[in-house]
Structure 1
Amino acid sequence: MKKFAVLLFSSVCIGIGVNMFIIPIHLINGRIFGISLLIKYIWGIKIGHVMIMINTPIYLLSLKYDKTYFINALLGLAFTSTIIDLLIPLNGLVHLPILTSAIIGGVIIGIGVGTMLRFHISPGGVDLLALLISKSRGINPGVVIFIIDSLIILAGIFVLRDLKLIYSFITISCVGLCVGLLNMFKSLHVYFR
């Protein structure tokens, strides 16, 4: 029951952050979400469908290394992909300046991703890789996510040739900070278990 509550809360946070704050201003937030958003902006394919296609090889890799993470990641992907697509009507509901949207969207997405990772659940491929790297190398998953996100945003700026995407660095910084903070203190993890 607790896992279901975590999945639902986290997926709704991610869905709100992506649909209400990131998509309307055409930013990307890195990770598989960012790659999926790039594909949506270029070809108009639904984000949830793209996430499933891109995540498949990463999930097969996780199955090889840790079956629990694999199962939790499948649940996270199913919930997140579905909720993101269900919350599409939120797109355009609010109109905020780009900087404000980048910050708020990043914080809300970061809370969702960070909460999932805290309970060893992953909403998508890069987050799953960050979780696996964090487990094997002892690196905070927020740092791993920030590095990968930066590379995806640089690719987005190059492919879309839109310097406005520089604001995406603010979004991923907020996501990385929230994920890092939510996964920093082991004592909190024991308290919430």
Structure 2
Amino acid sequence: MFSLKKIGAIVIGSILIAIGINFFVVPLGILDGGIIGVALIINYVFDIKIGLIMLLCSIPIFVLAWFYNRELLYISVSGLLLSSYVIDFMEPYQYYFSYYIEWTPFTRAVVGGLAIGTGIGVMLRQHVSTGGMDLIAEYLSEHIKINVGIIVLVIDLLIISIGEWILPGDSFFLSLMTITAGGLATSLCTLRRSENS
């Protein structure tokens, strides 16, 4: 079930996701898609830890996954637990990164999306995920033969559209850039896997 490749994918993917969220997305007050996007919306409104929200929001999806693919469920729970922990662990370091690194909002949004998308793609390439919408995308890609990155991108668009009402000014555009960059990075990371399916 667990191999060194899967464990490595979980660790590397979790770090990349945490970097993208904490150092690029949250300082701009923008959204990503999927469960991360839902967690960001709740964080911005109620100031609750993003990793904790991700865990709580994933529970109903994991309950459904219990009946469909338990091996994928166990691996995804591991990915979710580590990524949630790393996201909340790195959160206090946002200030230092923002203070010492000055990038334009557009660049920050795109690089944040690339980091998150690459982290998710690294995990999905090894059939591991952070759970949540990634788990749904993984399940759908196995049944409808569409690249998992494309499915993630569509789900992400739905999430930021729902969250549009809390986004001031050009935040919606920046969120769109984040999920587009993330979807492309995820697609590229999982491209060979889809061709071999």
Same fold per superposition (TM over 0.5):
yes
Change (3 A) 1:188 1:139: closer
Give the SS at the match of 2:160. Answer: helix
Counterpart CA distance in 1 for 2:36 and 2:193 is: 27
User: Residue in 1 aligned with 2:26?
Assistant: 23
Number of equivalent positions: 190
Q: Quote how far apart the aligned CAs of 1:189 are.
A: 7.4
Counterpart CA distance in 2 for 1:189 and 1:16 is: 30
Spell out, residue by residue over 1:20-78, the C-alpha distance to the aligned partner (whole angstroms, 9 max, x if none).
Answer: 00000011111100000000000000011111111001011111111111011100100
Counterpart CA distance in 2 for 1:66 and 1:153 is: 28
Q: Quote how far apart the aligned CAs of 1:146 are.
A: 0.8
Q: Quote how far apart the aligned CAs of 1:154 are.
A: 1.1
User: Residue in 1 aligned with 2:142?
Assistant: 135
The amino acid of 1:14's aligned partner reads I
Change (3 A) 1:187 1:117: closer
The partner residue of 1:4 within 4, 7, 15 is 7
User: Residue in 2 aligned with 1:171?
Assistant: 178
User: Residue in 1 aligned with 2:50?
Assistant: 47
User: Residue in 2 aligned with 1:98?
Assistant: 105
Counterpart check, 1:111 vs 2:118:
yes
Change (3 A) 1:83 1:144: same
Q: Which segments of 5 or more consecutive residues in structure 2 lack a partner in the other structure? A: none
User: Residue in 1 aligned with 2:73?
Assistant: 70
Q: Quote how far apart the aligned CAs of 1:186 are.
A: 3.3
User: Residue in 1 aligned with 2:154?
Assistant: 147
The partner residue of 1:120 within 127, 130, 135 is 127
8 A Cα contact 2:6 2:123, kept in partner: no
Give the SS at the match of 1:122. Answer: coil
Change (3 A) 1:164 1:63: same
Counterpart CA distance in 1 for 2:194 and 2:104 is: 38
The amino acid of 2:141's aligned partner reads S
The amino acid of 1:120's aligned partner reads H
Counterpart CA distance in 1 for 2:126 and 2:193 is: 11
Q: Quote how far apart the aligned CAs of 1:149 are.
A: 0.7
Counterpart CA distance in 2 for 1:188 and 1:118 is: 12
Q: Which segments of 5 or more consecutive residues in structure 1 lack a partner in the other structure? A: none
Q: Quote how far apart the aligned CAs of 1:113 are.
A: 0.2
